[in-house]
Chain A
């Protein structure tokens, strides 16, 4: 039995785990965007905050994922449901690219354009929503895109704490020393990563000002 046959034979489980995986990735990317985009906007305007915030996001990024999952396990509310925990951990990892790209996107808006807008009497919020965000949107979304792809990869580790997802196949395959089982997790994960990249790219194209 080759990989394809194995996957077809276990198709309902492959589908379930893929959906679980998508659930983890979707929520964590969404949460990270919800936190990261406003944070990126904030530090682009309050320059004093940019170093500590970016340093914080960088430090999170250096914690090995398996260790982070382990650290969070004994936390009371989180530890009760491992998918909750996995989503939090993945959110933390997804923050850096989103904050970074939002920051760069807003900082990259031509200062003459911002000054002209401020000088003609736009309020700070009009400046943000009518000028800065539309011009930074493709940078911001490319951050979301990178975050989604990182999450697809990292979410496989979440299986180690029992949060499900395609990592289950991978860990099981490792334990069984069976490449087919590993690939049954790895191939759909790779496809998911491509789809996430493509999907956010599509949104980016739709939102980009001309």
Chain B
């Protein structure tokens, strides 16, 4: 579905990504886990050509990505970012329906699609006429997902989409995401630095560090892994819970 072949990226003499080889299978949720600056967002943006590789090849649907018209490529890939980036001058319906409209869908089909999408992400229909600033963070994020799915892309790129939400709302949208993904079976590349999120949402976890891919593991393998980086994440995660528990008892 998506394949990185020896991809490197450097900008202004800084090596951001080194020799990345990675395959994302159809219908899976591949989580890119890593610290800030590890190159995970760059990896994501390479898929929809917001970033161009310095060397190496990226294949989308088996075709070298630079042979596909960039606008068509992007329209077939949903994109959700942490800041959401809803158009503040468009109401929810226009935000969700923008791409279908540009693609020339008839008005009534767009309207039906907007309602379908709102329903899909668990938002009431009467939200359609609201503007982004009138929504809560969780609602905005759901609208962002609905917008990304509106033109029914096969691939979904998500860059820390739930990072700015409070823990309880994040828990809700993560659960909804899982249900959604069960139904839709999109090919998802999901960037996060949160191990809990990676374990919960990912079918596989690609761990990145300093511009290199360390390892790719399933969540079950990840928690048992002897890889020093992977176990460092698991330990840091466990330490947090443990020390909180200890503070509680002492």
A135–B78 Cα distance when bound, in Å, is 23
Which residues of the partner chain B approach A134 to less than 8 Å between Cβ atoms?
A: 89
Interface centre among A113, A114, A122, A135 (most CB of B within 10 A): A113
Q: Scoring A residues 112 to 130 as 1 if CB is less than 8 Å from chain B, else 0, what string do you get? A: 1111111111110010001
CB distance from A106 to the nearest CB of B (A): 14
Candidates B71, B75, B77, B79; contact of A116 at CB < 8 Å: B79
Q: Is A64 interfacial (CB 8 A cutoff)? A: no
Interface centre among A116, A117, A121 (most CB of B within 10 A): A121
Residue pair B89, A123 in contact (C-beta under 8 Å): no
Residue pair A119, B72 in contact (C-beta under 8 Å): no
Chain A, residue nearest B69 (CB):
A121
Q: Is B74 interfacial (CB 8 A cutoff)? A: yes
Q: Is B83 interfacial (CB 8 A cutoff)? A: yes
Which residues of the partner chain A approach B87 to less than 8 Å between Cβ atoms?
A: 113, 116-117, 130-131
A83–B144 Cα distance when bound, in Å, is 54
Residue pair B148, A120 in contact (C-beta under 8 Å): yes
B residues 70-99 in Cβ contact with A at 8 Å: 71-79, 81, 83-89, 98-99
Residue pair A113, B88 in contact (C-beta under 8 Å): yes
Q: Is A209 interfacial (CB 8 A cutoff)? A: yes
CB distance from B45 to the nearest CB of A (A): 8
Residue pair B85, A116 in contact (C-beta under 8 Å): yes
Q: Is B112 interfacial (CB 8 A cutoff)? A: no
Residue pair A119, B79 in contact (C-beta under 8 Å): yes
Number of interface residues of B (CB under 8 A): 28
Which residues of the partner chain B approach A46 to less than 8 Å between Cβ atoms?
A: none
Interface size class of A (residues with CB under 8 A): 20 to 34
Candidates B45, B79, B85, B102; contact of A126 at CB < 8 Å: B102
Q: Scoring B residues 136 to 152 as 1 if CB is less than 8 Å from chain A, else 0, what string do you get? A: 00000000100110000
A110–B81 Cα distance when bound, in Å, is 13
CB distance from A52 to the nearest CB of B (A): 23
Q: Is A48 interfacial (CB 8 A cutoff)? A: no
A residues 14-51 in Cβ contact with B at 8 Å: none
A210–B134 Cα distance when bound, in Å, is 13
Candidates A114, A121, A210; contact of B75 at CB < 8 Å: A121
A-B contact pairs, 13 of them (CB 8 A): A110-B83, A112-B84, A112-B85, A113-B85, A116-B81, A116-B84, A117-B85, A119-B48, A120-B74, A122-B102, A135-B88, A135-B89, A210-B89
Other than the given A113-B87, A119-B81, 7 more pairs (CB < 8 A) read: A112-B81, A116-B79, A119-B48, A121-B74, A130-B98, A135-B88, A209-B88
Interface residues of B (CB under 8 A from A): 45, 48, 50, 71-79, 81, 83-89, 98-99, 102, 131, 144, 147-148, 157
